[in-house]
Each structure stands twice: as structure tokens, then as C-alpha cells.
Structure 1
Amino acid sequence: MRSTPHAETFPAHTPAASQVFTTVLSHGPLTRLEAGRRAGLSPAAVTKAVRPLLAAGYLAEGADQEARPALGRPASLVRVNGERALFIGVKVTGGELIAVLTDLCCRIRLARRTPLPDRAPGPVLTAIADLVHELRTHAAEPASPVAGLGIAVSGDVDRAEGVVRYSPFLDWRDVPLAELATTAGGLPVVVDNDVRALTIAEQWFGAGAGLSDFAVVTVGAGIGCGLVVHGRVVSGAHGVAGEIGHIVIDPAGPPCHCGNRGCLEAIAGDAAILARIQEVTGRHVTHSCEAVALAHQGVPGVREVYARAGEAIGRGIATVANLFGPERVIISGEGLTAYDLFAEHIREAFTTAAFGSAARCDVQTRPLPFEEWARGAAAAAIQSFITQAPTTGTG
């Protein structure tokens, strides 16, 4: 994200303060002692970190009313004051925008969707500005400032520069989206890859909470992967860490839009599955729901297409497990509507290709609507607001 003045300034400019706040945000309410233990900080460091946050109203502290009197005086707990600031998250797909208004705890207050008939940057920016204006107008807490906007886009996104380098589904190249959106909407903007933004939300509030090493693999229009290694969401030196969709599964396989052949996405992405089903059945299939229905109807050849896709996904997940050794892999995305058709093949291919102890990785599914992806964009904006600087981690 390009450096832009924040209308609302977060009063924590040290790593310790950001770390304590993030710890309370994802695990709180907590006692100061527990917050320090989880963050790896001394009691003195915690006291120094929370003091300005309490004074500015971002944290609140009070007795635990659920503690039993027989245990003595109730413990004093620190919690995030979610009402202190609001954030907007927008998920951009090839056909629509999904936007949410959240509080500082990333709880969704309002959600809106709007179609996207024109994918050119100008019309998309106009539609985003309209959604932002609508959400700000209908904010549940008008006294709370909207402190930031997060935009999640598929593809190669340079978060530090706020530039969409390449988004195949939007056909964008080198679009300075953060700068343009800041000008159009008047808010500080962070732009991130959609899977990476979803991973931030899963790390703080979802199936990755409390884990230091995990991955989020999304299946659908594209195949994406967000990585958390040693507690940090990683993007790599060039911002494309986790692009398992372009791991070559079959060098003699179908061509991929990236220029290679046999990429995971060229075998298991929605468009690839539809194309292959049309090829083997001779039927004109335009939507995944139709394809799933054909498989359930027993149309010859369709289940084999999904089996091949499942095997490719399983091998892709095994590659992630072999390289990074995550404790858990979370499978999500709109492609889960067909999960019953390839779940067994994913598991078998993963077990076969995972090396040694990597096979012990907990692979689980987590269906999430696009509103949760928009929430991920809001989480990226909250993360940027907390750190007041571009970052690839939460600490």
C-alpha cells in the first residue's frame, strides 16, 4: 500500500504494541499476563504497550463478570473496543463486487453486492466508490470513523506498491489500484491478493487461529494458496508466494493462460473442468452447477473429469505440505460445491505425494461465501491500520 495519511491514526507505533493489540484482537479478552505470554512479552512491556491504546479507546479493560465470586476478585481482562473504528472490505470478482462494513474486530455490520458488467479499471473504480459511499452512509455507528478500505483482487498483486500486476479474470496489468481508489474514495487503501487477504482473516478469526504454520487453498475460478509460516502471512520477495495454481502437474496437459501447460489451474480450475466436460460429453456446459448436476446424473465421463481435478488438487496440496510443513491446510472457495465429487481423490493423491511426516497435515474444508473474502479485505485494511506501514505479517 502506498503511504497515505490516515484520517484516523492508530496510537501504537512499536512492534510490541501492534503485537499485543493483534493478540488481544484474535484471542481476547485476555488478562495482561496472558496477553504477554501469548505475545512473548514481559509484563512491563505489555503495560507500556496497552497504555496508549487504552487512553485512545482502542482497548478497554474491566473485570470478568463471568468469574465466580468464590474464586476471589474477578480477573481484569483487556479487550478490543470494536466500536472505536470501522473498515470497509471489497472483494472484486470477474462479475461482481462484494463489499462489507466491519468494526475494528472485523465483525460484519453491513454487506452489499453489485454486478460488474464492465471489468475495465475505470468502471470498477466507480462501482467501488459507489459501494463505499453507500456503506459509509448507512454505517451502523456514524460516530465511529471509517479508518480504511481494503480491496481484494485475484492474481499477482504488489501490496507494498498497491499495484495489481496481473489479474487474469479482470484482464488487468499494472493497475495502480490503491492510488486510484484512494483518490476516488478519500480513504487510506490497501490492495492485496484475495487469497492472502482471506488468509489474514483465517489467521485472526478462523480455522487458523492459534496456529503458527498453516495454509489456505482455494478452489474455484482459480486455484490459490495463502501461507502462514512461523506466524506470518508470507508473500515472498516478489509477492507471488503460494501460487500453487501454476505448479505444473502434467507437462503434456492442457495449456494455461500463464503460458505453460498442465498447470494445476489448467486442470482443476472451474473453466478447465467445464471445457473438459464439454469435450468428453459434447454438451454445451456454461456453469459449474450444470457440470455438478451432470456428474450426479451419471453422465459418462463427467466424474472422471472431477477425479482428475481432485488428483491434481491433492498433489498441489502435497507440494505445499512437503515444502512448508503446515500443521493444517484449509480448503475453501466456490469450487467446494463439487467437493463430494473429488474429495476422495484429493485425499488419495495427497497421501501418496506427501513425504513422510508431511502426510500428518490436517486437511480440512471450510466453505466460505464471498462476504467472508470481502471480510478478508477488511482484515487486510485493519492490519495495515494497526501497523501503519506495509507488512506481510501480523506481528
Structure 2
Amino acid sequence: MDEVGESRAALLRSGSGAADEVFTTILTRSPISRIDIARRTGLSQAAVTKAVTPLVAAGIVSEHAGPPRQKRPLGRPANPVALVADALVVLGIKVNVDEVIAVATDLQTQVLHSARVRLTEHDPATVIEAIVSLSAQLKDLLGEAAGRIAGVGVSVSGDVDGASGMVRESAIMSWAGLDLRAELTRRLGAPVVVENDVRALAISEHWFGVGLGTRSFAIVTIGLGIGSGLHVNGEVVEGTFGVAGELGHLPLASPDAICACGRRGCVEAVAGTPAIVARVSAAHGRAVTIEEAVRLAHEGDEAAADAFGEAASLIGTAIASLVNLLGPELVIIGGEAVRNFDLFDSTLRAAFADHAFGAASRCRILVRPHSFEDWARGAAATVVRSLLLPQADPVSEPS
């Protein structure tokens, strides 16, 4: 990072609680007046000005002149301040079993450049090499702006400890006990954040998506696995041990169903794409793809319809359990399977209605397709968050 980038990142990391609150408000609601910042944060206007002044001096926030004096309303002018979104740049990388997707974004995770590479193997060494290569590509594309890279965020499915950057277990990747952050920090020479992929997506939706302005919401993703990210009372839930919201591993299915994690009865063991494909393949006595399973279900094939129906019922029941426990106002359903959500929709919602307790049934269920670039933006959002909340999500500095 160049000298300007270093000073800007250091300023954000050194902020007090009030300063972080002010900057987060500007980050998510720019442009906004100091008066409105004070109203939203509960801080005095003097405290807001104290927090904004060094941000303006550092070039992270700009001051916008209001309308011409003769057109201004009477009283103190409410000139807005605005984020200089490209004051710092972050890289976000989403790791999939067959592909790695990388984006360079500004502070609001708007994509500046993107790159991706297919994987023929997904062992740690191969994936790390792909991440290093993609990071170098993005730096070349950024040119001079590469000197303002504040960090690299990497998101991976599974049991990921965001505090340490350790991938404790990822069944999809067949990884266990991988200190991914330490290795990437050494190879990239930049601060690195490693986070669970759905939790990273929840951070992104909280600040820059449909979760903005809600007190509590959850993301449920349907695809190879069944994931969940939780946002409760203004904070993304990480769990004391780095595990929270593992909806796919609630033991709601038959004990006969064996999950990729090695346990029995997990929702994912019946509702994940591999489980649906396996069930339809067994019924037809040959291997089918997920695309063929979808086609068969649409054509009224009984085995395919039953497979999707049971998956939808289990997911709806699991969502009801989550809503009964946490009481979010919104559940966002995403993941690669939502392109075929018509096969889940009515059964999922009926199961949710059957099991949601009392007023919990008023929780909205919103379907929101996410591209893999959106997932990579979620990884980028973890870096922005780590600049403001180092205690919750510390960034590893290169040695």
C-alpha cells in the first residue's frame, strides 16, 4: 500500500466507537448531512463534526457545497458530506469447489474489475495459487489504484473462524484445519480476512443490500449446501466459536440421510443439490444432472417432484425454526438454486407457515438471486468491516 493508502487505512482502524458509527453512516447512506448523521446516530452535531473533520482531511470523505446562498432555506445550512468511495480499494475473492471468482471494489463494494479461474483440483495449494494469481491480475488492472488496496477478503463455505482466519472444516472443499489467512498473508503481502461465505454475504446485504435499515434479518442459501447468515439487532452474528446459523446442519431429516459433513439427519443431506441429484438418479437407475432433475420435475416426473418437494419442506421447516428462535423481520433466500425456486416456493412457504409460531409468521421471505460476483463482493465487504471493527474481525498484517 502506498503512503496515502496507509494513512487512510490507519485512520479508519484507529477510530473510536463514535467515529466508526459516523463513518459507517456515511458509508451506507452517502451523501448525507451532518444533521441527519446526528439524528441517526444519536450523537451531538459537535461530535459528528469532530469525527468528520479528519475524514475530510484524509480524502476519505468530501464536503459538498449546498445550493446557492440565495436559494438556501433560512437557518443553518445542511450541506451533505459524501464518501469518496475509491479512497481505498479492496479485493474480494469467493472460493468455490470448481472456480475462484475475484473482484476489486471501492469502499461501497462497487466492482471496479473482476477476474475468475476454473479449478480442476481444489486442494489448498491449488486454490491458494489461484488466489495469488487472480490478485496479481486485479492489481495489474487497477494500475495506480493498486497502491490503495486496504486488504483482501476471502470467503469459503464451511466452519470458518473469521477471528483467526482458520478454515476448521469445509466439507464441500474437503478441507480441515487450514490456516488460510496465514498462508495468504505470507503470499500476498497484504492484510487478509477469511470468512464463511454466507456470513460474508450477510455483511454485504447488511450495509449495501436489502438488509440496510432492518434491525434483524437472515440469509438462507440453497445450492450445493444449505447455508445461513444471521444479522441480529444491528450486528452480524459470528458465534463465540465462529459457528452460527448452520441451518443446513439442523438434524431435521431422517437419520438415514448421511450428510457430506459425516453426520446424519442434516437438512443439507436431503435438501442440497447433490442429495436431490442422488435421489433422482437412484429412481431412474442412471446418473442425472441437476439440470435434468429440474427438467424432469417441471415435466411432472414423480421422483424428481418428490425430491424437490421434500427438500422444500425441510428448508421451510428449518427457516421456521430459525425465525422462531431469533425473530428476524426478513429472510432472504439466495444461492444458485433460486433460479429454479418455483420448484421449492409453495411447499417451502407452506412448511414455514405450519411451523412458524404466532407473530413470527409475519416474517417476510424474499427471494434474491446472487451472482458469484455478488458473493465475491461479500468477501470484499468483510475487509471494509474489519477496518472499522478490528476487535470483531481482526486483520492480519503482513510480516
Equivalent residue, structure 2, for 1:95:
98
Deviation at residue 279 of structure 1 after TM alignment: 1.7
3-state SS of paired residue (2:269): helix
Q: Deviations over 1:172-221 (max 9, x none)?
A: 11111111111111110000000000000000111101111000111101
Distance 1:237 1:388, change over 3 A: closer
Q: Is residue 66–residue 72 contact of structure 2 (8 Å, CA) maintained in 1?
A: no
3-state SS of paired residue (2:308): helix
Amino acid paired to 2:158:
G
Q: Deviations over 1:281-306 (max 9, x none)?
A: 223113x2221112122223211111
3-state SS of paired residue (1:130): helix
Question: Percent identity among equivalent residues?
Answer: 45
Q: Is residue 331–residue 363 contact of structure 2 (8 Å, CA) maintained in 1?
A: yes
**Residue 89 of structure 2: which of 86, 89, 104 is its match?**
86
Deviation at residue 18 of structure 1 after TM alignment: 1.2
Q: Is residue 61–residue 79 contact of structure 1 (8 Å, CA) maintained in 2?
A: yes
Q: Is residue 88–residue 102 contact of structure 1 (8 Å, CA) maintained in 2?
A: yes
Equivalent residue, structure 2, for 1:215:
218
Q: Is residue 139–residue 146 contact of structure 2 (8 Å, CA) maintained in 1?
A: no
CA distance in 2, matches of 1:258, 1:30: 47
Amino acid paired to 2:27:
L
CA distance in 2, matches of 1:202, 1:55: 29
**Residue 188 of structure 1: which of 173, 178, 191 is its match?**
191
- Return the TM-score normalized by structure 1: 0.93
Equivalent residue, structure 2, for 1:176:
179
Q: Is residue 331–residue 365 contact of structure 1 (8 Å, CA) maintained in 2?
A: yes
Deviation at residue 79 of structure 1 after TM alignment: 1.3
- Return the TM-score normalized by structure 2: 0.92
Q: Is residue 248–residue 267 contact of structure 2 (8 Å, CA) maintained in 1?
A: yes
Aligned residues: 387
CA distance in 1, matches of 2:345, 2:283: 21
Decide which moves more: 202-211 or 71-80.
71-80
Deviation at residue 253 of structure 1 after TM alignment: 4.0
Answer yes or no: is 1:166 the counterpart of 2:181. no
Deviation at residue 71 of structure 1 after TM alignment: 4.2
3-state SS of paired residue (2:219): strand
Equivalent residue, structure 2, for 1:363:
365
CA distance in 2, matches of 1:108, 1:140: 15
Listed as ranges, the gaps of 5+ residues in structure 2 are 395-399
Equivalent residue, structure 2, for 1:236:
239
Amino acid paired to 2:311:
A
Equivalent residue, structure 2, for 1:122:
125
Amino acid paired to 1:55:
A
CA distance in 2, matches of 1:6, 1:119: 34
Amino acid paired to 1:295:
A
CA distance in 1, matches of 2:314, 2:354: 12
Decide which moves more: 174-183 or 88-97.
174-183
Q: Is residue 297–residue 304 contact of structure 2 (8 Å, CA) maintained in 1?
A: yes
Distance 1:296 1:148, change over 3 A: same
CA distance in 2, matches of 1:131, 1:307: 40
Q: How do residues 1-80 of structure 1 correspond to structure 2 at under 5 angstroms?
A: 9-12=9-12, 13=14, 14-64=16-66, 69=71, 71=73, 75-80=78-83
Listed as ranges, the gaps of 5+ residues in structure 1 are none
Equivalent residue, structure 2, for 1:157:
160
3-state SS of paired residue (1:63): coil
Q: Deviations over 1:330-362 (max 9, x none)?
A: 000001122001100010000000000100001
**Residue 312 of structure 1: which of 306, 314, 323 is its match?**
314
Q: Is residue 84–residue 144 contact of structure 1 (8 Å, CA) maintained in 2?
A: no
Deviation at residue 37 of structure 1 after TM alignment: 1.8
Deviation at residue 8 of structure 1 after TM alignment: 5.6
CA distance in 2, matches of 1:360, 1:166: 35
Amino acid paired to 2:322:
V
3-state SS of paired residue (1:113): strand
3-state SS of paired residue (1:301): helix
3-state SS of paired residue (1:79): strand
**Residue 275 of structure 1: which of 273, 278, 291 is its match?**
278
**Residue 380 of structure 1: which of 379, 382, 387 is its match?**
382
Decide which moves more: 218-227 or 55-64.
55-64
Amino acid paired to 2:350:
E
Distance 1:121 1:6, change over 3 A: farther
Deviation at residue 251 of structure 1 after TM alignment: 3.8
Distance 1:384 1:7, change over 3 A: same
Deviation at residue 268 of structure 1 after TM alignment: 0.6
Equivalent residue, structure 2, for 1:133:
136
Amino acid paired to 2:10:
F
Amino acid paired to 1:9:
A
Q: What is the root-mean-square deviation of aligned Cα atoms in Å?
A: 2.1
